Amino acid sequence: MTTSATGVVTSTRGRPLRLGTRASELATSQSGWVADRLRARGHEVELVLVQTEGDRSTAPLTQIGGTGVFVSALREALLEGRIDCAVHSLKDIPVAEEPGLVVVAVPEREDPRDVLVSRDGLRLADLPDGALIGTGSPRRAVQLEDAAPGARVTDLRGNVGSRIAKVTSGALDAIVLAAAGLNRLGRADEASEVLDTTVMLPAPGQGALAVECRSGDAATVELLAVLEHPATRTCVAAERALLAELEAGCSAPVGALARIEGDEIVLDAVVGNASGGTLRHSLRGADASGLGREMAQHFLSRLAPAGLNHPSPAPTAQHPGA
C-alpha cells in the first residue's frame, strides 16, 4: 500500500479497492457501511455489484439449495480476480472453509434479533387465530409453531421493502424479519415488536457481516484487518460450530445466539425436531468452537431418528380479507 500526495491510501495495484456486493438495497447498504469505514481511514473503495443465484431465483431457498446461494457468485468473482474483497451477511456463508479465501474481518455485530412487522402494530401474542405470517425461513417457521400455534405460516421471499408491502397491502397479517436489516435501512420504526430470544432465536451469525478476500493477497488482508471485532468473531464461532457439527446449512431449522459474560461464553440454541416441536438448550464455557460442538451433541442425542424438522411453509396464500 502507498499514500498519495493527497493523503489517500491506495493499494500496490495503483487503483481503488474493488469491494464486491450483492445488488439489493440491504446488501449495498451493509457493504457501503464497510466501505465508509475504510474510506474514513483514507482508502479508496469502489463497490462492484455481483448478482447471485439467490437474487436471480424467486423459489424457496430450500428448493434452490439454501446454503451458499447468496455467496457463490461473489466467491467466484474473488477467485477470478474481478473483485478484491466481498461483504457477506455472515449467516449466509457455508460453514466449510473455501479454499483460497479467508474471512479476514468480522465487524461489530448489529442487533441479532428478529422483529415482527404486523398489521395494526399487533404483537405476536395478540395476533388472532388464523393470522397469516410470512417467512421463507424454516428456523422461524418451527419457532412460530411454538410461539403462535394458532397462526398459519406461508412462504415469503423478496427484498425487505416488498415483504413489508405484503403487510401494508393486507395480503399478510405479519412477517418476521431480521432487526439488523431494518436498522441498516433506517426502517426500524416499522417493526411492531422486537422478538425476545426466548421466543425467537436468530440464525447463527445473524446481524454480523463477513469481509472476505483471497488468502494470498497479503496487502488486502492487512488493509481489511482493522475491521475485525474480536468479541463478535468469538460469538459467531460458537454459533457456527453448532451448525457444522449438526452438518446443517444456513437454511436449516437451527437458531443460536452466543454472548460473552465475564470469562465465559453463553450459547442459547434451538432446533426443530422431526417428531414435532423444538428442542432448546443453553450451555456456557470458555472455548467457542468446543461449546458449539457440545451443543450439537446434546441435540443429536435427543432428536428423533429422522433428525431435524425441515418445515416447508405453505405456498404464498391469499389473505381472506385481501
pLDDT digits (tens, 9 = 90+) for 67-117: 467 799 999 999 999 999 999 999 999 999 999 999 999 999 999 999 999
Per-residue pLDDT of the chain (322 residues; tens, 9 = 90+): 433 333 333 444 578 999 999 999 999 999 999 999 999 999 999 999 998 665 444 444 444 344 467 799 999 999 999 999 999 999 999 999 999 999 999 999 999 999 999 999 999 999 999 999 999 999 999 999 999 999 999 999 899 999 999 999 999 999 999 999 999 999 999 999 999 999 999 999 999 999 999 999 999 999 999 999 999 999 999 999 999 999 887 778 999 999 999 999 999 999 998 888 899 999 999 999 999 999 999 999 988 776 787 665 655 554 444 3
Q: State whether 96 and 43 are in the same domain.
A: yes
Q: State whether 216 and 243 are in the same domain.
A: no
CB-count exposure of residue 169 (10 Å: 0-12, 13-18, 19+)? exposed
CA 36 to each of CA 31, 50, 171, 188, 210: distance values in angstroms, whole numbers, following the listed order:
9, 19, 37, 21, 15
Q: State whether 190 and 240 are in the same domain.
A: no
Whether 157 is catalytic: yes
Q: State whether 91 and 9 are in the same domain.
A: yes
DSSP tally for the chain: helices H, then strands E: 9, 15
- Write down the catalytic residue from 37, 39, 157, 293: 157
pTM greater than the 0.85 cutoff = yes
Residue 321 lies in a domain: no
What pLDDT is recorded for position 7?
35
Whether 235 is catalytic: no
Read off the CATH number of the domain in which 157 is found: 3.40.190.10
Whether 139 is catalytic: yes
Q: State whether 156 and 277 are in the same domain.
A: no
Q: State whether 28 and 99 are in the same domain.
A: yes
Q: State whether 87 and 221 are in the same domain.
A: yes
Q: Can you give the residue range of the structural domain that contains 123?
A: 114-194
CA 8 to each of CA 12, 177, 283, 296: distance values in angstroms, whole numbers, following the listed order:
13, 39, 47, 47
Q: State whether 8 and 97 are in the same domain.
A: yes
Sequence length of the chain is 322
Whether 166 is catalytic: no
Q: State whether 13 and 58 are in the same domain.
A: yes
Kindly give the interhelix angle for 230-246 and 288-300, rounded to the nearest 10 degrees: 30
Residue 180 lies in a domain: yes
Whether 92 is catalytic: yes
What pLDDT is recorded for position 310?
66
CB 84 within 8 A of CB 215: no
Q: State whether 24 and 86 are in the same domain.
A: yes
Residue 124 lies in a domain: yes
Read off the CATH number of the domain in which 241 is found: 3.30.160.40
- Write down the catalytic residue from 22, 75, 152, 163: 163
CB 245 within 8 A of CB 125: no
Q: State whether 145 and 19 are in the same domain.
A: no
Here the cell at position 168 is 401494508
Whether 13 is catalytic: no
